[in-house]
Amino acid sequence: KDNIINTLLTTTLICLFRKNNFTGQKLCYGGPKHPCYKIAYFNEMSSRVAFEEARKACEIEGGALLSIETETEQKAIEKLLQDLTSSVSGIFDGDFWIGLMRNGGTQEHTSFTTCPELYKWTDGSVSQFRNWYYDEPSCGGEACVVMYHQPTAHHGLGGAYLYQWNDDRCNMKHNFICKYEPDRDPAVKPVKTH
């Protein structure tokens, strides 16, 4: 019975990307005053998308690429990905675009000490919470940010490549996570968590 439930949960959460839209269920935790999330995970690497495509896909549905405002929200996203990873049909290696990018693009003259201060969410707001992997952001030509999700990778100096943030080239192909503010989607029904 648990396997069937896990399979159904995974099936509704893993989204398919088709011509600037994707399907799947929005997950809403904590009631109608909290944001909802939608995971776009692709087993096939050829289906993954660049940062701008991911941003547009979220916006078409009235959302935005994931912004993580607090450690509590970071932990909630980690739990969601852990649940999907451990389910029967599961998700495997594949980083996720989040809506953080460096203001000013890929300016090579940015110093390492000022570079982290230049990151903002796609709505222009300043990121107060950060969860960078060890020795990140590396800056240079990398201006867009992914959340690591590489459960099978060997650990690096900063530990496992799981859930920490890394700056990457914006044209790289990744999965993505959308976030929907509660006031933008009143029809979404919250789901209970255990």
The predicted-structure confidence for 144-190, as pLDDT tens digits, reads as follows 999 999 888 889 888 889 899 999 999 999 999 999 988 654 344 44
CATH superfamily of 27-104+114-180: Mannose-Binding Protein A, subunit A (3.10.100.10)
Confidence of residue 24 (pLDDT cuts 50, 70, 90): low
Chain-centroid distance of CA 18 in Å reads: 19
130 Cβ contact list (under 8 Å, min separation 6): 116, 119, 165
What residue ranges do the domains of the chain occupy? 27-104+114-180
Chain-centroid distance of CA 153 in Å reads: 19
Of residues 98, 64, 74, the one with CA closest to residue 181: 64
Residue % of the chain over a pLDDT of 90: 41
Alpha helices in 97-145 (DSSP H): none
